[in-house]
Amino acid sequence: MSRGKGFTLVELLVVIAIIALLMSILMPALSRVRKQAKVVICQSNLKQWGIVFSMYTDDNNGYFQQGWGGDSKSSNWWMDATRPYYANQGDIRCCPEASNIEKEVADGFVNTGIWADWTGSFFTKGEYGSYGINGWVEHRKKEISGEEWAAPRRWRTPNVKGAANVPLFADAPWIDCWPHYYDAPPDYDNMPWQQGSHMARFCKNRHDGYLDMLFLDYSVAKIGLKQMWALKWHREYILNGPWTIAGDVQSADWPEWMQDLKD
C-alpha cells in the first residue's frame, strides 16, 4: 500500500514554531518602520504647510495672518486665512501619530491629542487638527487692550534674520501658543494644553521624545522636546533661560517623564 502525502504533526509544529520565531523578530522592526513612516508623513505635511504659508505671505505684502484678535467671530485664524491654499483638506492638518479624532474628543472642544470644535463656538464648526502655529509670527494689526507690550515681540513676516531658528508651525494639541522662556514644562506626558504655560501647548511627546517643526525659513526638522526652550520664539525671547543648558538647567529640574529625554 502506498502512503498518503502530507505533513506529520511534528513537521507542522516545527513550521508553526519557525513562523512564530520569525514574527517575534520582525514585529519590532515593522513597528519601528511604521513609526518612521508616520514621521515622514508628518514632516511631509509640514513641508506642504511651508508652501501654504509662503503663498499666503506672498499674496499679503509679506505678512502672516492676524490670528486671534480677542473676538472669535472676527479673528483671522490660520486655518481660515490659508484655506484657499490647502483646499480645506482636513488630513493635512493632522499628524498621523495624533489620537483618533472621533474617539478621543471627549468634550466637543479639545483634548490631549488633537484640537477640534464640533459646535462652532470658538472657530469654524467641524474644524479639527493636531498642528499649531507660533502666535508670535502673526501680524496683529491692533493689540488687545493691556497687551500692547506684545507688539515689539511679533515677527509678522518670514523675512527676518535667523529665520531658521524661529518656530512657525509644529505638532500641538491646540491651534496656537505664545511661548515665553520661563514657561514650565508639562508635569506629565500627554498633559492637556494649559493657559499658564504656553510652551506646554507645544511640548507634545508625539514622536518618542521629539516633535516635528516647521521654521520661519520653511525648513522642517525633528526637534527634541527639551530643545524647544532654546529656540527663538519671539524677537525678545531669551535664549539662555532657566530651562536651557546655557541657563544651567539640570536633569533633576525637569519633570520625571522628561528627565531621560535628549538634552
Question: Is the CB of residue 59 less than 8 Å from the CB of residue 75?
Answer: no
- Predicted confidence at residue 206, as pLDDT, reads 86
Cβ atoms < 10 Å from Cβ of 59 = 11
For the segment 55-110, what is each residue's pLDDT rounded down to a tens digit? 999 999 999 998 876 555 556 889 989 999 998 887 899 898 875 554 444 444 44
Q: Residue 233: which of 172, 183, 171 has the closest Cα?
A: 183
Q: Which pLDDT value is given to residue 31?
A: 64
**pLDDT per position in the chain (263 positions), as tens?**
555 566 677 777 777 888 877 777 766 666 666 777 888 899 999 999 999 999 999 999 999 998 876 555 556 889 989 999 998 887 899 898 875 554 444 444 444 477 877 777 777 777 888 899 999 999 988 888 888 899 999 999 999 999 999 999 999 888 898 999 999 998 888 776 666 788 988 888 888 899 999 999 999 999 999 999 999 999 999 999 999 999 999 999 999 999 999 88
**Percent helix, strand, coil in the chain (nearest 5)?**
35, 10, 50
Cβ atoms within 10 A of the Cβ of 99, count? 18
User: Quick one: CA dihedral 59, 145, 233, 91, positive or negative?
Assistant: negative
Task: Return the domain boundaries, the chain.
Answer: 33-258
Q: Provide the pLDDT for residue 108.
A: 45
Query: In residues, how long is the chain?
Result: 263
Contact 228, 237 (CB under 8 A): no
C-alpha 128/C-alpha 191 separation (Å) is 19
CB distance 226 to 262 below 8 Å: yes
CA dihedral 197, 203, 204, 210 (to 10 degrees): 180
HSE (CB half, 13 Å, CA atoms) of 195? 0
* Torsion sign across C-alpha atoms 134, 140, 146, 148: positive
- Give the separation between CA 62 and CA 153, rounded to whole angstroms: 17
Pairwise CA distance, residues 114 & 250, whole Å: 31
Backbone angles phi, psi at 189, to 5 degrees: -65, 140
Nearest CA to 210 among 191, 228, 231, 184? 228
* DSSP bridge partners of 6: none
DSSP per-residue codes, 153-186: G---SS-STTGGGSEEEEE-SSSEE---TTPPPP
**Three-class SS state of 207:** coil
Cell of 102: 472621533
The overall longest dimension of the chain from CA atoms, in Å, is: 100
Give residue 27's pLDDT.
Answer: 67
Q: What are phi and psi of 20, to 5 degrees?
A: -60, -40
pLDDT at 105 (0 to 100) = 47
Q: How far is CA 94 from the centre of its chain?
A: 9
